[in-house]
Chains A and B, each alone.
Chain A
Amino acid sequence: MNVALAKTETGHALSDAFAVARDRLPGAGKVAEARQQAFEAYERVGLPHRRIEDWKYTDLRALMREVLPLAAPPDAAALKRAAAALKLHAIAGVRRLVLVDGVFAPGLSEAGNLEKGLGIRTLRDVLGAGDARLQAQLLGPENTDSMVALNSAMMTDGIVIEVADGAALTQPLHIIHIASGGTPAAMFTRSLFVLGNAASATLVESYIAAEGAKVYQVHDSLIVSIGDSARLDHVRLIEDGREAFNISSSQVTLGAKAHFNTFGLTSGSSVSRYQATMAFDGEGSRVETNGVNLLNGRQHADTTLFLDHAVPNCSSREIFRAVVDDRGHSVFQGRIIVRPDAQKTDAKMMTRALLLSDEAEADNKPELEIFADDVTCGHGATTGALDESLLFYLRARGLSEKEAQALLIQAFVGEAIESIASDSLRELAISAAQRWLAARG
């Protein structure tokens, strides 16, 4: 009964918020119509709960309770706090594109002086200007998942990146989401990455909080279209504040002979969920999708990956690692579907969880759905504690218990990090993991 009550209450609060925010949301005509439909779709379900199979382990009605009102555009003070946070997380040699409280911050970004073949615009601009082709892609996601629908209804800003056919970008692009730490609020962003045929690029996404940022909600989505024979390297790092919520989705489509290498690391936020759909649209393509959850305290992190093998001769590899301490709760749901005509599919998925405390919890759901016979598909899952004999071996050689644990944990997550193709990005992930280990003491 309580659940139903909570739903209507927050439901009302949110419909009001949507009505109030509508003027601030970019796009008219078709875009506004799509927003309305998406919002209605969200309202029919509300926040997802454990009775919805895909959200079985991440009951947002219990964990998040309500969607916060739309964040105000950042003022000068907010931008200043964001700039300070940015300094701490700056990566050398990348092109920075910064969203503060869900709004593009040109002052903090490097959106000018673009390489040949690279185009960068904001979502606000694209939705407002009536660019039909890009708009169609941005409005592509269906409203079946209520959190995606909510994002479609409320998206305020984001980055729209286009890479022309044949362009090979040398400089990685780095989208940074910063919560500036004003009043508790929600930010809704959506970005689009269109990679042309035979093009190549590197995209880094990170989520950070300025000092003093406490309760806030990130509702993000990313739409990626990879052209034939193109290659995209992608890394996402969730280092949000410890009271934050991060609900992100991504939808990736691969053309023929394309290659997508993606890695995600979650060490921040109180509750996070990353749901990614990767669909093969052309033959001979390859996906490597790896991830690591590093959790402690009462953190809850959910990674849900869906690989859609719709065409023959594609391959996919998934390696996922979770390290859970204290009362942390890690969730991994991996689903591989091999559709009837997708012969010669080669798909593998391996998920492993390491529990460091008796109150930690790891839930794994590696799912295979196979409709074609000439395929090789496999998945594996293990859950356990650190190996006592390995710990003893290291202790016997003079390492402290924490050092010994840290070494073993590093090796454990190393398998997932290793697959990152670019050296500098791998370093980025390793240092994020080390930060987590160092914080453990």
Chain B
Amino acid sequence: MAAVQETVDRVRRIDVDQYRYGFETVIESDKAPKGLSEDTVRFISAKKNEPAWMLEWRLEAYRRWLTMTEPKWARVNYPKIDYQDLYYYSAPKPKKQISSLDEIDPEILKTYEKLGIPLREVEVLEGVVRPEGERRIAVDAVFDSVSVATTFQKELKQAGVIFMPISEAIREHPDLVKKYLGTVVPTSDNYFATLNSAVFSDGSFVYVPPGVRCPMELSTYFRINERNTGQFERTLIIADKGAYVSYLEGCTAPQRDENQLHAAVVELVTLDDAEIKYSTVQNWYPGNSEGVGGIYNFVTKRGDCRGNNSKISWTQVETGSAITWKYPSCILRGDNSRGEFYSIAISNGHQQVDSGTKMIHLGKNTTSRIISKGIAAGVSQNTYRGLVTAHRKATGARNFTACDSLLIGDKCGAHTVPYIEAKNSSALFEHEATTSKISEDVLFYCVQRGLSQEEAVGLVVNGFVKDVLQQLPMEFAVEAQKLISISLEGSVG
């Protein structure tokens, strides 16, 4: 049977620890001195050629960070992070001034090729036979601390869409950046967001002008390559009145024995009638089967539905990272605004996931939906932590939450910690959660019909997460489906 051969091939392709993207690119890089101080912040700001106001902003965040303590409430355990033992800035050494994509260091291009990310527009454009209706994706590739390439800039410019590394946007569109940066996630928001505000090095900036439907999917691909380096990227997406944009994010890192820190901040703003769809496939290196190494993923993601009738939708497939600490949230400020959160979090080996969302209903007739599927295998711990709250004035607020957990094996844990707060009588909240293991009957049924145990589990799991996968853009859905089978392989029995 074809399926069997496919599985065998896949198993052969992946190494013992089942991480496909664990290779390292040997490239000379330009680093900030190790450790964190005001000088580091100044160094990064200078490297980025930033205006004075930006440096001030960073320094203020840094000073505040010094007064803060690391949050301890999440259900994750890790040894104390030595913030002085990290590099806060690392960029591939430029061989010369780059003027076109062809001049990018071939090593880096090769890296992205290996990852399956098309950076050469030519190839993308001349792609032999393109199936009908296939969409093109503009990619911003972030390698350690800097953006190395952004494709399709010309075409996007024609539509009026600004899509560029945030470091460039700070120089070229200071008014827009000033107006929105830090308005959704303030510099003082939390420990990791404040750290990010002080030392963020790059990330994507998107501005979609009023009434424009972004002509293609935008995507950023994050890659941590350098040893001992933290990645602190900052993404800011603004959909002006009536605009629409779909944004994809992917992440991988090499396989290393030490833990690496990733503390990102993502801010989304939608004005009246605008919509942002944000999809993530997070596949940072999760550590080996003994729990050594892996990325610490401490991310603050928040969207602000500032305008009436606006919508923000988060979709995430979380399979990587040693530790995930991430709560993409929606502030439903505008009347009739809508927030959505679709999540699949899969943990295996020694991974620890503490993820969920916050839906904060402030405006009238705001609606939100949360669909979360957690799958725990190996000796991992998988927690859903979510807040749904309706404020006094949020008349007619509605929420539906379903969070299901699936346990594979008896050494793992699945936890659900919902907070449901209603301060308005017309708010209608529904929440349901279940935890179970894959039913023996269902497995038996599949096996009886000729599927192997592993395939049967794959089938059930895919059915379990179907609601969420359907929300992903097509290109990602395929990738996500593959990821799911890889993350779970070896967890049966």
Contacts and interface: CB of A to CB of B under 8 A. Distances in A.
A378 B410 contact: no
Contacts of A364: 418-421, 431
B419 A380 contact: no
Interface residues of B, number: 34
**Mostly helix, strand, loop or mixed at chain A's interface?**
strand
B425 A358 contact: yes
A199 to B, nearest CB: 34
Contacts of A83: none
A369 B429 contact: no
B410 A381 contact: no
Contacts of A366: 416, 418, 420, 431, 433
B421 A381 contact: no
A410 to B, nearest CB: 19
Interface residues of A, number: 35
Nearest to B73: A53
A372 to B, nearest CB: 6
Given A368-B433, A375-B436, A361 B421 contact: yes
A381 B418 CA distance: 10
A375 B425 contact: no
Interface in B382-440: 392, 405, 407-437
A367 interface: yes
A359 interface: yes
Contacts of B434: 376-378
Contacts of A367: 415-418
A379 B421 CA distance: 16
B423 to A, nearest CB: 5
B432 A369 contact: no
Nearest to A345: B435
A362 B415 contact: no
Interface in A248-300: none
B409 A361 contact: no
Contacts of A368: 405, 414-416, 433, 435
A190 B430 CA distance: 38
Interface string A380-399: 11111100000000000000
Nearest to A337: B415
Nearest to B433: A379
Contact of A377 (B421, B422, B425, B436): B436
Interface in B416-466: 416-437
B418 A378 contact: no
B371 to A, nearest CB: 15
Contact of B409 (A355, A373, A378): A373
A385 B415 CA distance: 29
B368 to A, nearest CB: 13
Contacts of A359: 392, 423
A380 B402 CA distance: 9
A384 B427 CA distance: 6
A363 B390 CA distance: 10
B360 to A, nearest CB: 14
A373 B407 contact: yes
Interface string A157-191: 00000000000000000000000000000000000
B416 A373 contact: no
B436 A365 contact: no
A380 B424 CA distance: 20
A379 B413 contact: no
B413 A369 contact: yes
Interface in A27-60: 53
Contacts of B424: 355, 358
B422 A370 contact: no
Nearest to A368: B416
A368 B385 CA distance: 10
Interface in B51-76: 73
B410 A370 contact: no
Given A355-B425, A365-B419, A381 B431 contact: yes
A301 to B, nearest CB: 15
A186 B489 CA distance: 60
Contacts of A305: none
Contacts of A375: 407, 435-437
A377 B425 CA distance: 29
Given A53-B73, A368-B435, A378-B433, A362 B422 contact: yes
B428 to A, nearest CB: 4
Nearest to A367: B417
A383 B417 CA distance: 17
A340 interface: yes
A372 B411 CA distance: 7
Contacts of B405: 368, 370
A356 B425 contact: yes
Nearest to A355: B425
B432 A379 contact: yes
A382 B429 contact: yes
A417 to B, nearest CB: 23
A361 B435 contact: no
A385 B426 contact: yes
Given A340-B410, A374-B437, A382 B430 contact: yes
Contacts of A373: 407-410, 412, 437
Nearest to A57: B421
B425 A357 contact: yes
Contacts of A360: 423, 425
B437 to A, nearest CB: 4
Nearest to B413: A371
Contacts of B410: 340, 343, 372-374
Given A355-B425, A360-B425, A380 B432 contact: yes
A377 B435 contact: yes
Interface string B254-285: 00000000000000000000000000000000
Given A53-B73, A357-B425, A385-B425, A370 B433 contact: no
Nearest to A340: B410
Interface string B19-45: 000000000000000000000000000
B167 to A, nearest CB: 38
A365 B417 contact: yes
A384 B428 CA distance: 4
A258 B412 CA distance: 29
A355 B408 CA distance: 39
Nearest to A349: B433
Nearest to B382: A370
Interface in A346-360: 353, 355-360
A311 to B, nearest CB: 15
B186 to A, nearest CB: 20
A359 B416 CA distance: 28
Nearest to A335: B417
Nearest to B428: A384
Given A376-B434, A377-B436, A382-B430, 8 more contacts: A365-B420, A366-B431, A368-B405, A368-B415, A370-B405, A370-B435, A371-B413, A375-B407
19 contacts: A355-B427, A357-B425, A360-B425, A363-B419, A363-B420, A367-B418, A368-B405, A372-B410, A373-B412, A373-B437, A375-B407, A376-B435, A378-B432, A378-B435, A379-B432, A381-B429, A383-B428, A383-B429, A385-B425
The 7 closest A-B pairs by CB, nearest first: A355-B425, A373-B407, A381-B431, A383-B422, A383-B429, A364-B420, A368-B416
